[in-house]
Structure 1
Amino acid sequence: MKKLINQPEDFVRQSLQGMALAHSDRLKVHLDPHFIYRADAPIRNKVAIISGGGSGHEPMHGGFVGGGMLDAACPGEVFTSPTPDQMLEAAKTVHGGAGVLNIVKNYSGDVMNFEMAAELAHSEDIPVLNILIDDDVAVKDSLYTQGRRGVGTTVLAEKICGAAADRGYDLPAIAQLCRKVNLNGRSMGIALTSCTVPAKGSPTFELGDTEMEIGIGIHGEPGRQRMPLQSADDIAEMLAVSIIEDTDYSRQVREWDGKTGEWVEVPLSDRPFAPGDAVLAFVNSMGGTPLSELYIIYRKLAEICERKHLTIVRNLIGPYITALDMQGCSITLLKMDDELINLWDAPVNTPALRWGS
């Protein structure tokens, strides 16, 4: 293993310390427990948006803390869920009186710990709602999940909900907005190589020089199938068509209310994509794939969308939800309407995502 680290056990702490020094104008870092939060938090009468998960997926989530996006992010150890005390302390720090929305990727550890954190926050009179993201069409009930995994749509939800919070949406309205984004987003990824967790020091899984894994998870979980390496166009076709033609109606939207101690489950009644729809197209690097290769994938994705009579109205291309040094990519499509376009275009000022005033 060759990595720019000191001791593996110091990986997350030292990365956070460097982040605090590099972006002190936008964010602050609290250690013990670890969390990253906006430098101007708490903002009075604004819903606070929090997310989190295992480290190793940077810039998600800490790189999205700042104006127009997240108020706080809770990083766990590499590929390990953050703890309830991290989430509770983050909520107490950024709560401005209007409540907290937790955006939670559908992984068992994240779900359980955010659930406990919500209950603890409610006991301290902080209103909290948890919305799950479960957009991965590749597999259901994987190594770390019950139901579909939460992947690329998480980034889009954080941006859109962050903009809504800045515009004064109340907590129920932002929760409904996040639910809408989740329902209308679909993702799927591919791995060309494994990733190497610093504490382990060796590849997470073995993948031959002429093999690829279709439908891989962001922690290296197995996908739909392992097969001989294909061309970029063929890979884009496999991913995009699986997303656009997804018909798994068993997927559900789940919302945890810590005050009542109940999950609300709403079955998915229809697939999101139909001819004539407008979409946001997100082509993401798994960490080890250069931007030039992502543009080759995007080129084919645009052709496929045109063939399927989908209009790409916005795009995002780059390494935004990674798996350490894994070579590969993922595609996310989100059906857009006027509200989502307007919120996507709103100004954002974070270390990893910046546009507008």
Structure 2
Amino acid sequence: MAKDSNHFSVKDHLKAYELAYKDHISIQWEPLVVYRQHPSSKNKVALVSGGGSGHEPLHAGFVGKGMLDAACPGEIFTSPSPDQIVSAIEQSDAGSGVLLIVKNYQGDRMNFEIASELSDSQSAIVLVNDDATQTDRDAARGLAGVVVVEKILGAAAEKGDSLEDLTLLGEAIVSHTRTIGVAFSACSFRKEAGETESENVEYGVGIHGERGVSCLPKTPIDVLVRQMIDQLLLSLARVPFQPILLVNSLGAATDKDLTLATETAKAALSEKGVSVARELVGTFATTLDTDGFSITLVDATPEWLLLWDAPVDTPALNAEHGR
């Protein structure tokens, strides 16, 4: 993906992506929708998600067996249009309805709700609001936790769960999922708007280049991660028994930084008597080229862990990940 957002073409990026992953996805160009190359079995509930581009591989990278049936890419940090979403709903519907997985941003919410009303297919919405820096859950933004939601719901859909059951499961997963992101630099989109570099760490950033909820002086990653773990647990309002840990690059974090963040998070949890049940580390939901990372903690049940372990085959996630 191009580092400079002025030179980032969503369609050019997707043309290259389709060529690289032609065994997984196919693309409808007007309106723009990414579909599974091999449609799911008849009567399976279809899963559709989407959002602004600049978060790659979210969401197109998670289209495939065990996760999404379709993804609707918008322009950079811009919601997909209702006509994109309506097309995705109606072409993905295999007879049992469509579940829309939507991050909690005003534009995404509005356009997915409009599309749900316009479509003739039966549909429901799961709203992802995993931002742990917000105490008002209605206002909390959707962050990298959406990847965990899509993976678990994708497995449940593959085994034949109904639209109603998937909706309830999705709402439960969201309520047990929290994320915090930190950034050491602004993304190119913000720099192009005239922002200057700061020496501070932005704590609690969104995935559209939004500033953090607070600024901290330069802080070592291990100290920062321990603060993040404390706030994640506070937001969950309990110490999880078998958590899923997701450490996600916001675009330009080094492997060294991700490894340090992961090991520190596991150590901080271990000191509280918590052993991580599953971990996933890598680049899954970026903010263009931001130097930073997010940590997601999911208070998982044994049933969710079984779904997490179920087979998956998408461009960005496959059976080798997530153990």
SS of 1:178's equivalent? helix
> Structure 2 counterpart of 1:239, which letter?
M
Q: Distance between the aligned counterparts of 1:5 and 1:188, measured in 2?
A: 25
Deviation at 1:206, TM superposition (A): 3.4
Q: 1:348 aligns to what? A: 312
| Equivalent residue, structure 1, for 2:63 | 65
Distance of 1:352 and 1:318 partners within structure 2: 10
* Mapping of residues 218-257 of structure 1, within 5 Å: 218-246=207-235
Matched, 1:191 2:183: yes
Residue in structure 2 matched with residue 273 of structure 1 by the alignment = 238
Q: What is the aligned residue count?
A: 320
1:234 deviation in Å?
1.0
Q: How does 1:44-83 map to 2 (within 5 A)?
A: 44-83=42-81
Q: Structure 1 length as normaliser, TM-score?
A: 0.85
Give the corresponding residue for 2:197: 207
Distance 2:132 2:180 in 1: 6
Q: CA RMSD in A?
A: 2.0
Q: TM-score, normalised by structure 2?
A: 0.94
Verify: 1:128 aligned to 2:117, yes or no: no
Match of 2:174 in 1: 182
After superposition, where does 1:30-109 map in structure 2 within 5 Å? 30-41=28-39, 43-109=41-107
How far does residue 173 in structure 1 lie from its aligned partner after superposition?
0.7
Extract unaligned runs of 5+ from structure 1.
247-270
Q: Indicate the SS of the match to 2:9.
A: helix
User: Is contact 1:204-1:220 (8 Å) kept?
Assistant: no
Identical columns (%) = 38
Measure, in 2, the Cα distance between the counterparts of 1:3 and 1:347: 31
Give the letter aligned to residue 197 of structure 2: L
Q: 2:140 aligns with which of 122, 140, 148?
A: 148
Is this contact kept in 1: 2:244–2:277, CA < 8 A? yes
* 1:15 to partner: Cα distance: 0.8
Query: 1:6 offset after TM fit, Å?
Result: 11
Tell me the CA shift for residue 239 of structure 1.
1.1
1:50–1:100 contact (8 Å) kept in structure 2: yes
Match of 1:186, SS state, is strand
Report Cα offsets for 1:72-121 as digits up to 9, x if no partner: 00000000000110000011111100100000000000000000010011
Equivalent residue number for residue 316 of structure 1 = 280
1:137 to 122, 132, 137: 132
The secondary structure found in structure 2 opposite 1:154 is helix
Distance 1:309 1:293 in 2: 24
State how far apart, in whole Å, the 1-side matches of 2:306 and 2:194 are.
40
Q: How far apart, in 1, do the equivalents of 2:159 and 2:217 lie? A: 48
Query: 2:164 maps to what in 1?
Result: 172
Which stretches of structure 1, 4 residues or more, deviate above 3 A after TM superposition?
2-8, 203-207
Partner of 2:24: 26
The structure whose residues are more often strand, as a share, is 1
1:35 is paired with a residue of what secondary structure? strand
Matched residue type, 2:222: D
Q: Deviations over 1:3-46 (max 9, x none)?
A: 467974x7001111111111111110111211101012253100
Q: 1:321 to 1:72 in 2, by over 3 A?
A: same
Alignment-derived partner of residue 258 in structure 1: none
CA contact (8 A) 2:54 2:288 kept: yes
Name 1:17's counterpart in structure 2.
Answer: 15
Alpha carbons of 1:120 and 1:279: their partners in 2 closer, same or farther (altered >3 Å)? same
Q: Tell me if structure 1 keeps the 8 A contact 2:3–2:289.
A: no
Query: Secondary structure in 2 aligned to 1:311?
Result: coil
Q: Would you say 1:326 and 2:290 are equivalent positions?
A: yes
Change in CA separation of 1:167 and 1:241 when aligned onto 2, cut-off 3 Å: same
How many Å apart are 1:273 and its aligned residue? 2.8
Partners of 2:229 and 2:193 lie apart in 1 by 28
Unaligned ranges ≥5, structure 2: none
Cα distance in 2 between the residues matched to 1:96 and 1:344: 23
- Structure 2 SS opposite 1:234: helix
